[in-house]
């Protein structure tokens, strides 16, 4: 089973419908060779999203028709068993279920337990049934999500005030900004964020000024909520982030606390979606418990340091954890380097990941996988 890069699938689709006979034969021979080798093409909902959100409606329709033509397909089973291929949240839920309702207590046990029922197999037409109205609606949602991804990836790259690497103990020594000075600070903050968006954000991001204002306002709202809480500042920050107080250390950086708060929020939401639901906290399932979550967040932390980010980075983060559950996964050049960099310090993950590779010519993939 191989998970191909969305860009590769787009190229194969283009050639599959090409008017040029040699290009058309190349694509159809590629699928035929995969079938002869018994290789299933693995999909998640993120693959489908990236392929069908194409701005050209005719191109998107061709891609949908192409996906339906693939003879051997495996798609990630959604946790609640609906028909659409599952995404990263479904993968987290499968892993969390193995911990909360199963016997898994380490990464290897989680992966082994989840893999048994993770994939549904069939043909492309069985994965993506015919329903023109349904797919037109889904494509609109994909386009909306794409704009959101560009915003999230771009904002996540900013660090106005250079506080990401500041320790909580250092932040506590700073004097609290008086309320009457906050309007001026917000204006400076917006300008700084907008400048960083131009320098490092997704080049396709529209309305960067509005994005900076929205982000600044959300930060100020959070500050206001924390101000109204009782107790010392560390306790207030921990409570605001939904993080147990004992998990917050003065040596922790602002960035590390932010990641912990995001995890706590995700865990709260995911645990309520379990069957049956559970009220799980960071105490029950510590941050390093779920292998896919660890891989996703550590890859994202490396991507965040790149000089220029892209909304597609979020898609890479969501697809790359499939390396734990497939025989092989194709990634682009940048993700390949980031993944190698991340795994150098993660021997436990190295023992779990399948093969990952990058290619220039997709026609080489069947032979590569057959070696």
Give the integer Cα–Cα distance in Å for 281 and 157.
Answer: 28
The answer to whether the CB of 197 falls within 8 A of the CB of 154 is yes
The answer to whether the CB of 34 falls within 8 A of the CB of 22 is no
Q: What is the pTM of this model?
A: 0.88
pLDDT given for residue 313 in this prediction: 66
The segments of the chain whose pLDDT lies below 70 read 174-176, 225, 229, 231, 309-313
pLDDT given for residue 73 in this prediction: 98
Tell me: the pLDDT tens digits for 36-71?
999 999 999 999 999 998 888 899 999 999 999 999
pLDDT given for residue 97 in this prediction: 97
Give the integer Cα–Cα distance in Å for 197 and 153.
Answer: 10
CA 316 to chain centre: 6
Tell me: the pLDDT tens digits for 109-165?
999 999 999 999 999 999 999 888 888 899 888 888 878 878 887 888 788 777 888
pLDDT given for residue 178 in this prediction: 75
């Amino acid at each position: 089973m191989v998970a191909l890069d969305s860009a590769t699938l787009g190229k194969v689709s283009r050639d599959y419908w090409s008017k040029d006979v040699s290009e058309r034969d190349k694509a159809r021979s590629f699928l035929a060779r995969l079938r002869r080798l018994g290789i299933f093409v693995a999909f998640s909902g993120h693959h489908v999203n990236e392929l069908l959100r194409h701005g050209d409606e005719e191109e998107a329709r061709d891609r949908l028709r192409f996906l339906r033509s693939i003879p051997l397909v495996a798609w990630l089973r959604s946790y609640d068993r609906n028909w659409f291929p599952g995404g990263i949240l479904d993968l987290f839920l499968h892993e969390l279920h193995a911990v909360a309702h199963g016997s898994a207590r380490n990464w290897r046990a989680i992966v082994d337990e989840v893999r048994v029922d993770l994939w549904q197999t069939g043909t492309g037409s069985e994965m993506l049934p015919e329903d023109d109205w349904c797919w037109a609606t889904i494509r609109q949602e994909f386009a909306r999500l794409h704009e959101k991804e560009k915003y999230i990836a771009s904002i996540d790259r900013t660090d106005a005030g250079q506080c990401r690497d500041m320790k909580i103990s250092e932040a506590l020594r700073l004097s609290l900004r008086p309320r009457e000075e906050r309007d001026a600070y917000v204006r400076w903050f917006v300008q700084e964020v907008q400048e960083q968006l131009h320098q490092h954000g997704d080049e396709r991001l529209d309305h960067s000024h509005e994005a900076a204002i929205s982000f600044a306002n959300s930060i100020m709202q959070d500050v206001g909520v924390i101000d109204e809480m009782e107790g010392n500042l560390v306790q207030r920050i921990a409570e605001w982030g939904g993080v147990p107080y004992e998990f917050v250390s003065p040596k922790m950086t602002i960035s590390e606390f932010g990641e912990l708060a995001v995890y706590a929020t995700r865990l709260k939401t995911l645990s309520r979606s379990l069957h049956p639901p559970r009220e799980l906290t960071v105490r029950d399932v510590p941050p390093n418990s779920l292998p896919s979550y660890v891989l996703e967040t550590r890859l994202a932390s490396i991507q965040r340091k790149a000089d220029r980010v892209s909304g597609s980075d979020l898609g890479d983060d969501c697809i790359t954890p499939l390396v734990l559950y497939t025989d092989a996964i194709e990634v682009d050049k940048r993700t390949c380097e980031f993944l190698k960099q991340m795994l150098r310090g993660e021997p436990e993950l190295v023992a779990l990941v399948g093969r990952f590779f990058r290619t220039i010519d997709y026609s080489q993939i069947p032979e590569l996988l057959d070696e």
